[in-house]
Amino acid sequence: MKYFCKSVMWGIVFVMITIIGLRMYTYNNPSTAAAIIDRLNPLVKTATLYTKTTENYEYKYPDATSKIENFTYVQTCYTNNGKKRKLEYISFGKKITPDKFLKITAKGQNVIMWEEISRKDLPQTVSRLLK
């Protein structure tokens, strides 16, 4: 019984270290692997981020079924309180117009949705950072 309890305890410690370590690995890592890990990690919370679009996309690729070109952007985003991080998001079917503001809902690196907003809808701290 003592061996079993010790094994369970070490198993729990291993799982916690793994979950926390993966969270630290994915925080500023805009990759598909990071998005998948964050989607599954229970310690990662959903957050609202803000960014200003540019005309520079990271890469484009055709959609497998419709052959429409999709554009992937990797940009610096800011939280409500001005904390900076990198994030990858995709525009399906068209390029995003440059110099627009986006409100992005993401769980870690996993983008749930994004929408275009006006400058007046930005939090004040973010508005000062996105000039």
Q: Which helix (H) or strand (E) holds 104?
A: strand 101-107
Whole-number pLDDT of residue 105: 96
pLDDT at 25: 66
Q: The domain that contains 6 carries what CATH number?
A: 2.40.50.480
Predicted confidence at residue 58, as pLDDT, reads: 80
Give 115's strand partners: 103
pLDDT digit string, tens, across residues 3-22: 788 888 888 888 888 777 76
Give the mean pLDDT of the chain.
86
Domain count within the chain:
1
Mean pLDDT within 95-111: 91
Q: What is the pLDDT of residue 5?
A: 82
Q: Are 113 and 105 in contact (CB under 8 A)?
A: yes
Domain holding 124, by residue range, is 1-130
* CA angle in degrees (0–180, nearest 5) for 38-54-77: 35
DSSP 3-state of 39: helix
Residue 53: phi and psi, rounded to 5, are -75, 155
DSSP 3-state of 13: helix
pLDDT, tens only, 35-50: 877 888 887 889 999 9
